[in-house]
Amino acid sequence: MTHFNLSILFILISILGCSSSQEETKNADLPIDKDATTETVALYNNLKNLAQDHVLYGHQDDLAYGYSWWAEEGRSDVKESTGSYPAVYGWELGDLRQDVDTNLDGVNFEQMKEWIKEGYNRGGIITIAWHMNHPVTDGDSWDTTPGVAAVLPGGAEHEKFKTWLDKFAVFTQDLKGEGGELIPVIFRPYHEHTGSWFWWGDEQTTVEEYVTLWRFTVDYLTQERNVHNLLYAYSPDGSPSRFQKYMEKYPGDDYVDILGVDDYGTFMSEETDLEFLSNNLAWLAQKAEEKNKIAALAETGLEALTRQNWFTEELYTALTMNPEAKGIAYVLTWRNANYEKEQRDHFYAAHPDHPSASDMTEFRNKELILFEDELPNLYSLE
């Protein structure tokens, strides 16, 4: 064969070998994982576009339990209060390391996978946080003994730590949609590290340790475990003294897809500083735009909704007071702990008997806010 014919043959093979998924994603922005699955790339691009006009609403543990029920098919406090499931479903992997089948709040991991599939199949977005156990003391994530140095390469618990990441990798590869495709997940590890209540916290960890922990996690999952259905969300605590440290331990643009923030502090006193939160969200949205990434209010809420109109008067105000704040992609309120099980009012979304249900419905009806039944297809680039 002549050199010319060989070249033609090579070009033909290249064209034929280019899968439809590569074709589909070729003009799209890629997340930090350049081998991310087609659906993950689609979610990244679609969420970024949707954020220009909307903010999606999310709720932690929404399908697993509510204030007055536990693991009942189809139920959701959010749906029963507002008429729709949330657009974003948050899940939690604390205790995954142990040989136990439930997480730290009693949610069964196998059932969790089914709820994740259910939410995804309806078009929702999945995000996972991890109150990871203490690698040295075997305590929980609130054990503030410094622990990061021990899990880094060369550290005494590095091998043990890798087995936890392995468990997580296996968990993520079990998440498949109806067509067998991997379900994209927004992974939000080592959160609120500008506070000092976790073993990876501010006082517990140097800049270098935190950055190395984060980068090791991303590299290990993508390169060693071939996990390619994750977007990575960074979410420092956003209270005044802590928001100033937002970039101090930032792992770098090559390691973060979503610039998030967790903020409960704003709503904890009667003197809530909505303007402060609104300005922080505006700053985040602007930073995300500069970096061609996504911004989010990754965790927030008013425990027990003690101010009935919190959704419209406080949360919505924070999302709109500074017009740039609207640029964030989603907001997630924390879980509705089951009262019978936990004997406390630890809930952050309305439940149908709560007086906030109508206010939450009013929030849902705002043009800016999207719940699940208003979502376009987020998993295709068409």
Q: Which residues bind ligand BMA (CB under 6 A)?
A: 92, 94, 104-105, 131, 335
Determine the Cα–Cα distance for residues 301 and 315; give it in Å rounded to an integer.
8
Distance, first Cα to last Cα, the chain: 41
Nearest C-alpha neighbor of 360 from the set 89, 86, 124, 55: 86
Q: Identify whether 192 is a catalytic site residue.
A: yes
Q: CA 98, CA 45: separation in Å to the nearest integer?
A: 36
Beta carbon nearer to ligand BMA, 162 or 346: 346
For ligand BMA, the closer CB: 51 or 132? 132
Min CB(312)–ligand BMA separation in Å: 24
Q: How far is the CB of 283 from ligand BMA (least distance, A)?
A: 25
Residue whose CB is less far from ligand BMA, 201 or 327: 201
Residue closest to ligand BMA when measured from CB atoms:
92
Number of C-beta neighbours around residue 7 at 10 A: 11
Find the shortest distance in angstroms from Cβ 92 to ligand BMA: 4
Beta carbon of residue 338, minimum distance to ligand BMA (angstroms, whole number): 11
Closer to ligand BMA by CB, 94 or 139: give it. Answer: 94
Catalytic: 73? Answer: no
Distance CA 301, CA 289 (A): 25
Least separation in angstroms between CB 348 and ligand BMA: 9
- Which of residues 195 and 327 has its CB atom nearest to ligand BMA in the complex? 195
Supply the minimum distance, in Å, between the C-beta of residue 337 and ligand BMA.
7
The answer to whether 319 and 295 have CB atoms below 8 angstroms apart is: no
CB-nearer residue toward ligand BMA: 59 or 293:
59
Per the structure block, which two tokens stand in for 98? 């142990």
Q: State how far the Cα of 22 lies from the Cα of 145, in Å rounded to an integer.
A: 46
Active-site pick, 157, 299, 314, 372:
299
- Residue in 39, 92, 157, 192 annotated catalytic: 192
The residues annotated with a catalytic role in the active site are 192, 299
